[in-house]
């Protein structure tokens, strides 16, 4: 049974950037998080209707960041040389940043946001503009046959009914095929205190402990786990049919047991661990508010860097609005000249990150390296970055 451990309050759609005339009709829900003692899965207590989040107005482009372009290119190269797939299916293909590293001839993709499905369809990648479920899986097997590589990045954790999603994968995967998926790691979130990984889209935050239970329930087995730096610390999970592993005598790599041991050692199998995490989240909120208020009292101009879903959670949970943060700079054209969800801070182009800015809250703290590299001049002229991960501070 799912037991609540954290309440992040009233929250809007995390990627729902809006115009002034939409303020009155903005949708809000209560963002509460729970731990399931049986499966060990951490999930939202109440899910948001998927079409409210994933629709033709979706604004998150994976390919906008150099880090992510390089990450997916390298992933594709690795899979080509190690797994030799004859057919590739991507679930949640976004703007094609991964699938475009393969020839369109033996690929297909599923992407429920119609505006993004259009992008890859126009480039010749057969993209189904629909949600991943048993019906979609049946359609794909009928039209394209079983798939050797099923890849999904930052998408499986968005799917509310995991039993259906994993069963659909099982039915679509070829006998010797591999299911590879990557999502933010629960252990990384808990150790870094990055509670802003929690928002409407992230229906679940995965531990390997929980994934082992859920995948085993549908006849899939994890055979490798890789730790990734992207998205604030993620796990890449490799799974195969349980029967194939038995028949071929494939044993899971040491990385599987090592991940499970590390998670148990940290207590991810116990409710009490999450209660302690919730205390740390509250302290982070108080520390961040005090820091911003004291900088504001010194007449500093504070902006935010990266209009992320993560910062939607932080700003709405902490009650940080336009009185503390003047504006948010972001490279995404679809977010610019709109207002951030819930607290309605204006979002502007990066050209506004000019020399009138004294301090910048790192909304996109997961791209710290890329951003610090880009913004050397800001730091050289005395500009200060503010972060809340792993603890509230400046640098
Ligand atoms: P990300 O951290 O992936 O967001 P989310 O929390 O929504 O998953 O998104 C990064 C956002 O930051 C994206 O809107 C692009 C923006 N960004 C910049 O504006 N400048 C940059 O240099 C980088 C790396 C990202």
Does the beta carbon of 60 lie inside 6 Å of ligand 1?
Answer: yes
| pLDDT per residue as tens digits for the range 313-331 | 999 999 999 999 999 999 9
Q: How far apart are CA 238 and CA 181, in angstroms?
A: 7
Task: Compute, in angstroms, the gap from residue 180 CA to the centroid of ligand 1.
Answer: 24
Ligand 1, atom 19: closest residue by C-alpha: 330
Residues 98, 361, 315, 334, Cα dihedral to 10°: -40
| pLDDT per residue as tens digits for the range 173-192 | 999 999 999 999 999 999 99
What integer pLDDT is reported at residue 64 of this predicted model? 86
Distance of CA 4 to the CA centre of its chain: 21
| pLDDT per residue as tens digits for the range 73-132 | 999 999 999 999 999 999 999 999 999 999 999 999 999 999 999 999 999 999 999 999
| pLDDT per residue as tens digits for the range 179-233 | 999 999 999 999 999 999 999 999 999 999 999 999 999 999 999 999 999 999 9
Task: Compute, in angstroms, the gap from residue 191 CA to the centroid of ligand 1.
Answer: 22
- Split at pLDDT 50, 70, 90, the class of 6 is very high
Q: How far apart are CA 62 and CA 68, in angstroms?
A: 7
Does the beta carbon of 366 lie inside 6 Å of ligand 1?
Answer: yes
* Buried/exposed code over 42-52 (b: 16+ C-beta within 10 A; e: otherwise): bbbeeebebee
Give the atom of ligand 1 at the shortest distance from the alpha carbon of 232: 2
* 310 CB-side CA count, 13 A: 22
CA distances from 238 to 77, 140, 141, 181, 215 (A): 16, 21, 21, 7, 11
Distance of CA 44 to the CA centre of its chain: 14
| pLDDT per residue as tens digits for the range 122-163 | 999 999 999 999 999 999 999 999 999 999 999 999 999 999
Does the beta carbon of 225 lie inside 6 Å of ligand 1?
Answer: no
Q: What DSSP element (H or E) covers 362?
A: strand 359-362
Pure H helices in the chain: 50-53, 66-83, 114-122, 134-144, 162-172, 186-192, 208-217, 242-248, 254-266, 271-297, 309-318, 368-374, 376-380
Q: How far apart are CA 216 and CA 218, in angstroms?
A: 5
pTM, to two decimals: 0.95
Best probe residue, ligand 1, of 53, 59, 63, 64 (max atoms within 8 Å of C-beta): 64
- Split at pLDDT 50, 70, 90, the class of 60 is confident
Mean pLDDT of the residues in the chain: 97
Give the atom of ligand 1 at the shortest distance from the alpha carbon of 196: 6
Does the beta carbon of 372 lie inside 6 Å of ligand 1?
Answer: no
Does the beta carbon of 331 lie inside 6 Å of ligand 1?
Answer: yes
Residues present in the chain in total: 395
- Res 65 pLDDT > 90: no
Ligand 1, atom 22: closest residue by C-alpha: 371
Task: Compute, in angstroms, the gap from residue 100 CA to the centroid of ligand 1.
Answer: 21
Ordered DSSP codes for 220-259: EEEEEEEEE-GGGSEEEEEEEEHHHHHHHTPPPPHHHHHH
Within 8 A by CB and 6+ apart from 157, the residues are: 183, 184, 202, 203, 204, 205, 206
Task: Compute, in angstroms, the gap from residue 160 CA to the centroid of ligand 1.
Answer: 24
| pLDDT per residue as tens digits for the range 232-257 | 999 999 999 999 999 999 999 999 99
């Amino acid at each position: 049974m799912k037991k609540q451990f954290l309440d992040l309050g009233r929250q809007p759609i995390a990627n729902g950037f809006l115009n002034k005339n939409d303020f009155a009709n903005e949708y809000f829900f209560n963002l509460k998080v729970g731990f399931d003692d049986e499966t060990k899965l951490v999930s939202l207590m109440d899910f948001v209707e998927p079409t409210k989040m994933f629709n033709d107005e979706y604004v998150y482009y994976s390919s906008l960041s150099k880090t992510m372009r390089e990450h997916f290119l390298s992933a594709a190269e690795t899979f080509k040389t190690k797994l030799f797939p004859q057919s590739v299916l991507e679930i949640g293909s976004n703007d094609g940043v991964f699938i475009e590293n393969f020839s369109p001839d033996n690929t297909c993709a599923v992407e429920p946001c119609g505006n993004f499905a259009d992008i890859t369809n126009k480039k010749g990648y057969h993209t189904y503009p629909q949600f991943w479920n048993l019906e979609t899986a049946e359609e794909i097997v009928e039209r394209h046959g079983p798939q050797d590589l099923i890849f999904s990045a930052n998408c499986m954790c968005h799917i509310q009914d995991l039993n259906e999603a994993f069963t659909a994968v099982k039915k679509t995967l070829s006998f010797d095929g591999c299911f590879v998926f990557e999502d933010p790691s629960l252990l990384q979130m808990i150790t870094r205190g990055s509670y802003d990984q929690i928002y409407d889209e992230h229906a679940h935050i995965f531990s390997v402990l929980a994934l082992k239970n859920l995948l085993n329930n549908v006849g899939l087995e994890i055979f490798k786990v890789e730790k990734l730096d992207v998205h604030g610390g993620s796990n890449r999970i490799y799974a195969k049919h349980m029967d194939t592993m038995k028949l071929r005598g494939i044993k899971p790599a040491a990385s599987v047991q090592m991940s499970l041991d590390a998670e148990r050692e940290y207590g991810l199998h116990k409710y009490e661990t999450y209660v302690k995490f919730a205390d740390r989240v509250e302290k982070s909120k108080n520390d961040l508010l005090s820091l911003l208020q004291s900088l504001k009292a010194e007449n500093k101009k504070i902006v935010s860097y990266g209009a992320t879903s993560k910062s939607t959670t932080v700003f709405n949970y902490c009650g940080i609005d336009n009185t503390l943060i003047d504006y948010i700079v972001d490279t995404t054209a679809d977010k610019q000249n709109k207002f951030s969800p819930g607290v309605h801070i204006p979002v502007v182009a990066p050209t506004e990150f000019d020399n009138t800015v004294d301090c910048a809250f790192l909304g996109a703290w997961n791209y710290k390296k890329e951003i610090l590299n880009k913004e050397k001049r800001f730091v050289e002229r005395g500009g200060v970055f503010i972060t809340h991960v792993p603890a509230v501070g400046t640098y």
